[in-house]
Chain A
Amino acid sequence: MMRFRTVTSPHVLLDASVGQVMRRVLYAMLPGVAALVWFFGWGVLVNLVIATAVALAAETAMLAARGKPLAPHLGDFSAVVTAWLLAVALPPLAPWWLTAIGVLSAIVVAKHLYGGLGYNPFNPAMIGYVVLLISFPREMSTWLIPHGVGQTQAMTLVETLRAIFVGLPEVDGLTGATPLDVLRTQMGLGLSVAEIRNSPVFGLVSGHGWEWAALGFLLGGLWLVYSRAADWRIPAGMLGGLAIISTVFYLINPQQYAPPWFHLWSGAAIFGAFFIATDPVTASATPRGRLIYGAGIGILVYIIRAFGGYPDGVAFSVLLMNIAAPTIDLYTQPRVFGARRG
């Protein structure tokens, strides 16, 4: 028997449904997640599992409450992507309720109360992250020391589960500050950037361990851009904006401002550029607007890191530019073919 495959029109380059794009985002996160697991242990995976379970439960409950069909909305993986984006940003030994509150804020408040996928003005994962950051500053800044720094032994799966579900054992040297935290506090003590970078948490370019995770996310992100699941303009704009402003300040005073390559590889810059800022619902929609939107995030990230009250600012910057996105779209609408210029 012959089978005829239906082929889409030749001018349609991408046969992407929402579910397909979301699945690609999940695949693209795998290298970065693998690096995080290698350096920070089982906690990363446990967080992913908790977040996914809570997200699916919350999505099901909200869809049922709103009288929407379950199968198409659960099958588009958007809740799973939100959960993963949030879980990766959490400390590896975050207590289970921290992850749950973050995911519930993201799915219930930021997504469904605003009308569900496609109607939410703010990036749900970042809303969840910011809710946790301002509500539980102590839990959110308790990061594990990466594998390979200090004398700590890697935690077993059982120890990790106990830490997450019962409580963190009071062991010195298990947790520590992130590189951006170290940079911020030491800078307050009057040390120069070069002196601070001798600290063991720093690796070749930025933080030890973190730089490999950033490389993993860069690889995944480049594949996302290559497969057109994400528009190149947003990461290009964001990393470009961050690079330009950090270079300017580095040239003004290299003692006081960290070099641009450090900023690009630190914190959530790469991850945010490719995975968070590129959320098609909350980002700007026009080609020029996406460059401006990305650059705005990059510049805000630098301003928050260098002059603000928090060590990293990707979440706040993304949310601030989410507010600006409709205005950017209004002023960057492409000229209709044949319409007059100006």
Chain B
Amino acid sequence: MSESGYLKILKDGLWTQNTGFVALLGLCPLLATSNSVVNGLGLGLATTLVLLICNVAVSLIRKLVRPEVRIPVFVMVIACAVTAVELAMHAFLPGLYTVLGIFIPLIVTNCCVIGRAEAFAFKNGVVKSAVDGIATGLGFMLALVLLGAIREILGQGTLLGQADLLFGEWGKGLTLHLIDDYRGFLLAILPPGAFIGLGCLIAIKNVLDARARRRAAAQPATVLQEAEV
């Protein structure tokens, strides 16, 4: 396995095939729990863990499972992984568990989990599948944290508020109050803010991609000119 293969998996998960910005899978948790950075980070970590477990497990059993029954098997694997992650969060991060609430068990319905199992893990080896799980999860977390940061700054004027939920006592010092005496732009916290924010992020990503393509298209021409000189 060449190294560029792993790099491509990472790049796909984080950017080219990003779950939140390109595939638009798992919109429900993305829109619902991205009202602050800490919430987004927490759900992103949980989803990454679930993706890693599921991808590894599905990749391990892929030769034993007949293709006809693969979907029910995926569902069982995912349900087990989500239950394990949920119980672990309940035990070690009770505060965040309470804040995220129903969205932790709902990771089971996140299409990107079964999507990666079907599209990648069922066809690839264990190590590649593990890398893909982590890359996809981190890509989802990137979307959650970016959207969470925008909504938290606009809505509350803070960054990393309630960080103690995720990092324990020392996390309290992480909270940044960017604007003193900020009234709060409630719309950003409410559901419409999630839709508008995600739309803007997707637009920005498309602009960046278009610019990169244009630069890539211009590249050969400059190389040629240099060669002529």
Per-residue A-contact encoding for B167-193, CB less than 8 Å = 1, 0 else: 000000000000000010111001010
Q: Of A109, A113, A135, A137, which one neighbours B185 at CB under 8 angstroms?
A: A135
Contact A109 B196, beta carbon cutoff 8 Å: yes
Instruction: Give the docked Cα–Cα distance between A153 and B36 (Å).
Output: 46
Q: What number of A-B contacts does a CB cutoff of 8 Å give?
A: 16
Tell whether A131 is near chain B: CB-to-CB under 8 Å: yes
Contact A136 B190, beta carbon cutoff 8 Å: no
Which of chain A's residues has its CB closest to B187's CB?
A: A135
Instruction: Give the docked Cα–Cα distance between A113 and B199 (Å).
Output: 10
Q: List B contacts of A136 (CB < 8 A).
A: 183, 185-186
Tell whether A134 is near chain B: CB-to-CB under 8 Å: yes
Contact B190 A134, beta carbon cutoff 8 Å: yes
Which of chain A's residues has its CB closest to B185's CB?
A: A135
| Size class of the contact patch on chain B | under 10
Interface size on A, residues (CB 8 A): 8
Per-residue B-contact encoding for A31-66, CB less than 8 Å = 1, 0 else: 000000000000000000000000000000000000
Q: List A contacts of B199 (CB < 8 A).
A: 113
Which of B183, B185, B196: most chain A CB closer than 10 A? B183
For window 126-151 of chain A, which residues contact chain B by CB distance below 8 Å?
A: 131, 134-137
Instruction: Give the docked Cα–Cα distance between A113 and B185 (Å).
Output: 20
Instruction: Give the docked Cα–Cα distance between A113 and B200 (Å).
Output: 10
Contact A135 B186, beta carbon cutoff 8 Å: yes
Instruction: Give the docked Cα–Cα distance between A212 and B92 (Å).
Output: 63
Shortest distance from the beta carbon of A133 to any chain B beta carbon, whole Å: 10
Per-residue B-contact encoding for A78-113, CB less than 8 Å = 1, 0 else: 000000000000000000000001000000010001
Contact B186 A134, beta carbon cutoff 8 Å: yes
For window 23-75 of chain B, which residues contact chain A by CB distance below 8 Å?
A: none
Instruction: Give the docked Cα–Cα distance between A88 and B196 (Å).
Output: 26
Q: List B contacts of A109 (CB < 8 A).
A: 196
Shortest distance from the beta carbon of A172 to any chain B beta carbon, whole Å: 22
Shortest distance from the beta carbon of A123 to any chain B beta carbon, whole Å: 16
Instruction: Give the docked Cα–Cα distance between A233 and B9 (Å).
Output: 59
Shortest distance from the beta carbon of A149 to any chain B beta carbon, whole Å: 29
Q: List B contacts of A113 (CB < 8 A).
A: 199
Q: List B contacts of A134 (CB < 8 A).
A: 186-187, 190, 192
Instruction: Give the docked Cα–Cα distance between A224 and B45 (Å).
Output: 59
Shortest distance from the beta carbon of A271 to any chain B beta carbon, whole Å: 24
Instruction: Give the docked Cα–Cα distance between A135 and B187 (Å).
Output: 5
Instruction: Give the docked Cα–Cα distance between A225 and B190 (Å).
Output: 39
Shortest distance from the beta carbon of B36 to any chain A beta carbon, whole Å: 17
Shortest distance from the beta carbon of A126 to any chain B beta carbon, whole Å: 14
Pairs across A and B, CB under 8 Å, 16 listed = A101-B185, A109-B196, A113-B199, A131-B187, A134-B186, A134-B187, A134-B190, A134-B192, A135-B185, A135-B186, A135-B187, A135-B190, A136-B183, A136-B185, A136-B186, A137-B186
The 3 closest A-B pairs by CB, nearest first: A135-B187, A135-B186, A135-B185
